[in-house]
Amino acid sequence: MKKIESVVKSGSNRRAFLKKGIVAAGGVTLGARLLTNASPALAEEKSGRLDAGDASILRFLAAAEILETDLWQQYNELAGIQDKEVPGGTGNPAYTEAVKVLDGDMDQYIHDNTEDELTHEQFINAYLASKGADTVNLDHFRVLPSSQATGAQQIGRLTNLMQLSVDTTWYTRYRSRTKNPDFGDNFPQAIPTIATGQHPAIPRFDADTSDPNHLQAIANTAGFHFATIEQGGTSLYASLAQRVTGVEVLRIVLSIGGTEVMHFQTWQDKAGNAPPLTDGDVVFPDLNATPLGGEDFQTNLIMPEPTIFLSKHFPACSIIRPTETRGAAMGALKFLAGSNLFLGQSKAFFAYLTDLAEDADDARRGF
């Protein structure tokens, strides 16, 4: 969070400077020596035959999908199904079983969510390329370590699942009948103890799998993190769709965004099955028992409760939320950075993603 804000504060000079560097490097290598002799004429990414705003929105979404794929791949290697569709890991039986406590089909769902993200990433980049627009490649930022636990590939990663702060306000936000984040409302955490500090959502090494209670805490953290990620995608697509100009690009954003909604709906159902436990400072309470329970915490209330939308003068409506479009891309980036998902990443990583988010948020609907 601090990092990304300091990059944002450093202003447009740095932004233009970096852009030149990235384009000069052909989107492949971002090195300091390449930043110095870039042509100002190449300062903006190419939009090709796409509306410039649409290209920017798609590029930010491509980056978001690459990041999603990276984190889901890590979950799949350890707790999903390894096959030709989602190759890479060899599975961690103890962690897989702990995750399956939430639902016997978790390995299949993790596999399918991972494959979905991979296809989103590949489709958006292929579409951008087909229109002569610049694509997104984050390969040079794959520098974060893999889990050392049995089952994980030893490759560089974009995201860090081992020191997370997992925001769980989506749980109460989607159960509220009177509040909406687009009206400035705040929501209590379902699991306050994982919302601050640093918590593994995957086993970091095999020792993390030897104590069943500790392993279940890790699996429960993952169970909530799945929904945290996918509710973010749900809101991001709906928010950015409002500033898309081309009908075909709108079709892409609505069609992919709909699958993010389906992911979130699956995961928020499973999160409620996380067994109550205490592991050191981490507490997963019984969400159905006093002092919790009721409308805000009851685990089977997985359909979005109707709430205020657009104006308090309208009747309550069952909707996804938030969907405010202003600043949506930067908001999504700050949300992810604030969760420590990018802990250990370079300044250049934050600068590049900030640049993509700013461009997406500059997009205006044309006619």
User: By CB under 5 A, which span of 51-59, 110-118, 191-199, 332-340 interacts with Fe ion?
Assistant: 110-118
Nearer to Fe ion, 200 or 257 (CB): 257
The residue among 361, 233, 362, 342 whose CA lies nearest residue 4 is 342
Q: How far is the CB of 292 from Fe ion (least distance, A)?
A: 28
User: By CB under 5 A, which span of 54-62, 63-71, 274-282, 349-357 interacts with Fe ion?
Assistant: 63-71
Q: How far is the CB of 72 from Fe ion (least distance, A)?
A: 8
Footprint of Fe ion on 207-246 (CB under 5 A) = 230, 233
Q: How far is the CB of 25 from Fe ion (least distance, A)?
A: 26
What is the C-alpha separation between 286 and 319, in angstroms, rounded?
Answer: 27
Q: Please, what is the end-to-end C-alpha distance for the chain in angstroms?
A: 36
Concatenate the DSSP letters of all residues of 312-357 into one string. Answer: TTSPPB---S----TTHHHHHHHHHHHTTTTTT--HHHHHHHHHHH
Concatenate the DSSP letters of all residues of 129-157 into one string. Answer: HHTT------GGG--BPPP-STT-----B
Tokens found for residue 145? 């370590």
Q: Cβ distance 274 to 217 under 8 Å? A: no
The torsion angles phi and psi of 60, rounded to 5 degrees, stand at: -65, -40
> Which x/- pattern, by CB under 5 A, does the window 20-59 give for Fe ion?
----------------------------------------
Determine which residue in the list 260, 355, 358, 359 makes contact with Fe ion, applying CB under 5 A.
260
Residue whose pair of structure tokens reads 């306000």 in the numeric block: 169
User: By CB under 5 A, which span of 96-104, 151-159, 259-267, 305-313 interacts with Fe ion?
Assistant: 259-267
User: According to the binding rule CB under 5 A, does residue 70 interact with Fe ion?
Assistant: no
Helix/strand/coil for 275:
coil
Determine which residue in the list 45, 51, 70, 117 makes contact with Fe ion, applying CB under 5 A.
117
Q: How far is the CB of 135 from Fe ion (least distance, A)?
A: 16
Q: How far is the CB of 118 from Fe ion (least distance, A)?
A: 9
Q: Which amino acid is at 148?
A: Q
Determine which residue in the list 15, 19, 20, 120 makes contact with Fe ion, applying CB under 5 A.
120
Binding residues vs Fe ion (CB under 5 A):
65, 68, 117, 120, 230, 233, 260, 263
